[in-house]
Amino acid sequence: MIKPNKYLKAYDDQLRTDAETPSAIHVEKLDVLRLVTFAGGRGFITYRDLGSLNEDGISTLVGQALEHFRRDAQITTIEWKSRGHDHAPGLHEALLAHGFTPDEPESIMIGPLEALCSDGSTPDGVLLRQVSSDVEVRAMSEMVDEAFGDPASTRQADALLARLARNDGMELWVAETAGRMVGAGRLEPVPGTGFAGIWGGAVLEAYRGRGIYRALTAARAKSALAQGKTLAHSDSTEYSRPILERSGLVKVSTTTPYNWSR
């Protein structure tokens, strides 16, 4: 258990800071919270920890954070990102009482980037490449919505294009077969740390089980290694977690997003 504990400490110390929200438009502090505004009317609430707050203190803070975003008419959704290893008495109940709804928990996975490169040969007939143009980013986002079973939306594409314009290091990778995008994922190197985030991995259902997800992951890991990064981190669904575990990443905790909509 020494390595998972070491990884978890690195996660808390290095990633639960401004490094967590490189695409933020605005960040405001509220006690221990960081209240983050993203493009597209999205609010986001995160923190290093909740300190010694008790149930009453946490409930009060949830209400204050919600009111902060409610005052901004452009904010239509808010995500409160919780972690399973935090000391947070009464947080779940407070969030429900203030109108937040929990999503399914995801596994926080961390491990060496090199491990992700060892089992990621590109399947025959599949092309892996980066995309950055308006047309391709929008096509990628539409494909990802389809892969996750979500309604098609322009919000994610708009946010990704805004980030690419800021040149903050994010890379968008796609997998194509017969000229069709069938998989995608983001790489987010974290400045000032040894970490790179492996995010948004998605493959269309009809193309799963062929090694495309692993190949996309390996391509992003190789790019991060070339930039001097050594560790990968990812919030993984139960679909992607076993793949990352087989490549040497370990589950150090869980994260559950709680969502509020105006």
- β-sheet bridge partners, residue 112: 231
C-beta of residue 159 within 8 angstroms of C-beta of residue 24: no
- Whether residue 126 is found in the same domain as residue 229: yes
In the chain, how many domains are there?
2
Range of the domain at 245: 110-253
pLDDT confidence of residue 1:
46
Phi, psi at 205, each rounded to 5° = -55, -40
User: In residues, how long is the chain?
Assistant: 262
pLDDT confidence of residue 152:
82
Amino acid at position 19, single letter: A
Enumerate residues 6+ apart whose C-beta is below 8 A from 46. 16, 20, 21, 33, 34, 36, 81
- Between CA 243 and CA 23 the distance in angstroms is 28
- Whether residue 102 is found in the same domain as residue 130: no
* Rounded mean pLDDT for each run of 10 residues along the chain, 262 residues in total: 82 90 90 93 95 96 98 96 96 98 96 86 94 97 92 87 89 96 96 92 93 93 96 89 87 97 94
3-class secondary structure, 184:
strand
pLDDT confidence of residue 65:
98
- Whether residue 116 is found in the same domain as residue 14: no
- Whether residue 143 is found in the same domain as residue 234: yes
- Whether residue 103 is found in the same domain as residue 115: no
Final residue belonging to a domain, choices 92, 107, 122? 107
